[in-house]
């Protein structure tokens, strides 16, 4: 499947005891017919009333707690299989409610953002995470500096720029993703404020690299922009692969709405190699 071009492999292991190893995940990602940005693996529910427990992997085999585009894909897949238009999924980020209005309008409640430095996490205390000490380039004339940071199920750093295409994110992304400031790594985004209700975004995704779309990054950029009073609480985030609607509700929940699309379907043998 894909969510705005973000390549998602959904693997249904409900009813099985199989758990993929990082090596198996990386091998699956390395094959052209099953290449993915994120792999969403469905296991038997852990919490009563949920449709599945999701384990989420990046293409390098690392496991993460959140993937907005992937969760929309899973929601659409389960909804079409069961007929349920509202369902709850569980991941390392907690319970996620998904409402499926159609393939072009799937809303995921991504939960509440965390802004404390220890929750992101950072390697040292910062009282105000709307802008932390981190820069790229000369100290007196940095190219990028003072990112906003947040955890929306995974860590994000958002750099505010005048033009997202004026920077080589493919070059600085790996350096920033693995910067000592982020002991667990971070998703790195460049965000351009186009209007009070519109953000333009490009993202280097932790463990995956440059991506056409990152749902959690769109959520991160939106809430960080609200905190800095750049935008209103409901915005459109334009990514290379398309647009997402993000709303940070007065109750503190992040609602992400966007499309998902089926591409093809097949079987994976137990050892993880495609048939």
Residue 262: inside a domain: no
Q: Into how many domains does the chain fold? A: 2
pLDDT, tens digit (0-9, with 9 covering 90-100), for 206-227: 988 999 999 999 999 999 999 9
* Within-domain flag for 79: yes
Q: Which of 73, 214, 219, 224 is flagged as catalytic?
A: 214
Q: Do 66 and 145 fall within a single domain?
A: no
Q: Which residue, 139, 239, 231, is CA-closest to 189?
A: 239
Over residues 17-34, mean pLDDT: 94
Quote the CA–CA distance of 42 and 69 in Å, as a whole number: 15
Residue-range definition of the domain harbouring residue 11: 2-107
Measured distance CA(7)–CA(5) in Å, rounded = 6
Q: How confident is the model at residue 272 (pLDDT cuts 50, 70, 90)?
A: very low
**155 & 247 share domain:** yes
Q: Is residue 214 annotated as part of the catalytic site, yes or no? A: yes
Q: Is residue 149 pLDDT above 60, yes or no?
A: yes
**Average pLDDT of every residue of the chain:** 95
Do 90 and 178 sit in the same domain of this protein? no
Cα–Cα dist 177/92, whole Å: 21
Mapped to the 3 state alphabet, what secondary structure does the chain carry?
Answer: CEECCEEEEEEECCCCCCCCCHHHHHHHHCCHHHCCCEEEEEECCCCCCCCEEEEEEECCCCEECCCHHHHHHHHHHHHHHHCCCEEEEEECCEEEEEEEEECCEEEEECCCCECCCCCCCCCCCCCCCCCCCCEECCCCCCCEECCEEEECCCEEEEEECCCHHHCCHHHHHHHHHCCCCCCCCCEEEEEEEEECCEEEEEEEECCCEEECCCHHHHHHHHHHHHHCCCCCCEEEEEECCEEEEEEECCCCCEEEEECCECCCCCCCCCCCCCC
Residue 274: pLDDT band (50, 70, 90) is: very low
Which tens digits make up the pLDDT trace of 236-270?
999 999 999 999 999 999 999 999 999 999 998 76
Does 162 have pLDDT greater than 80? yes
CATH number at residue 94: 3.10.310.10
pLDDT, average across residues 152-173: 97
Cβ pair 107, 98 in contact under 8 A: yes
Residue 158 to residue 181: CA distance in whole angstroms: 14
In terms of domains, do 98 and 176 share one?
no
pLDDT of residue 275: 42
98 with 108: CB under 8 angstroms?
A: yes
pLDDT digits (tens, 9 = 90+) for 30-55: 999 999 999 999 999 999 999 999 99
Asked whether the predicted pLDDT for residue 14 surpasses 50, the reply is: yes
Identify whether residues 148 and 83 lie together within a single domain. Answer: no
Whether 268 is in a domain gets the answer no
- Of 67, 73, 219, 224, the catalytic one is 67
pLDDT at res. 268: 87
> Which residues face 78 on adjacent strands?
none
pTM over cut 0.95: no
Residue 24 is encoded by which pair of tokens?
Answer: 């198996």
* Residue 224 is among the residues annotated as catalytic for this protein: no
With respect to residue 127, please indicate whether it lies within any of the assigned structural domains: no
**Residue 271: its pLDDT value, please?**
54
Q: Whole-angstrom Cα distance, residue 236 to residue 224?
A: 14
Q: Are residues 152 and 212 in the same domain?
A: yes
- pLDDT at 35 (0 to 100): 93
Q: What is the pLDDT of residues 72-119, one digit of tens each?
A: 999 999 999 999 999 999 999 899 999 999 999 999 999 999 999 999
Tell me whether strands 187-195 and 198-205 are parallel, antiparallel or unpaired.
antiparallel
In a domain, residue 199? The reply is yes
């Amino acid at each position: 499947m894909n969510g705005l071009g973000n390549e998602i492999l959904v693997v249904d292991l409900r009813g099985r005891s199989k758990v993929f190893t990082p090596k198996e995940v990386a091998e699956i990602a390395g094959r052209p017919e099953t290449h993915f940005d994120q792999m969403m693996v469905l296991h038997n529910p852990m919490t009563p009333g949920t449709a599945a427990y999701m384990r989420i992997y990046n293409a390098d085999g690392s496991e993460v707690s959140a993937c907005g585009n992937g969760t929309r894909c899973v929601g659409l897949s389960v909804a079409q299989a069961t007929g349920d238009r509202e369902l709850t999924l569980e991941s390392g980020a907690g319970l996620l409610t998904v409402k499926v209005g159609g393939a072009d309008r799937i809303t995921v409640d991504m939960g509440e953002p965390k802004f404390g430095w220890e929750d992101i996490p950072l390697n040292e205390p910062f009282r105000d995470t709307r802008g932390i000490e981190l820069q790229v380039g000369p100290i007196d004339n940095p190219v990028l500096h003072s990112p906003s940071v947040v955890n929306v199920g995974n860590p994000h750093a958002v750099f505010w720029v005048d033009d997202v295409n004026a920077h080589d994110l493919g070059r600085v992304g790996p350096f920033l993703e693995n910067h000592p400031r982020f002991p667990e790594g971070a998703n790195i985004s460049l965000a351009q404020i186009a209007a009070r209700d519109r953000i333009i975004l490009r993202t280097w995704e932790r463990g995956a690299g440059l991506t056409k779309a990152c749902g959690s990054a769109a959520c991160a950029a939106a809430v960080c922009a609200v905190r800095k009073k750049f935008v209103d609480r409901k915005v459109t985030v334009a990514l290379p692969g398309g647009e997402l609607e993000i709303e940070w509700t007065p109750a503190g929940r992040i609602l992400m709405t966007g499309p998902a699309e089926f591409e093809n379907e097949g079987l994976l043998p137990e050892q993880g190699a495609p048939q």
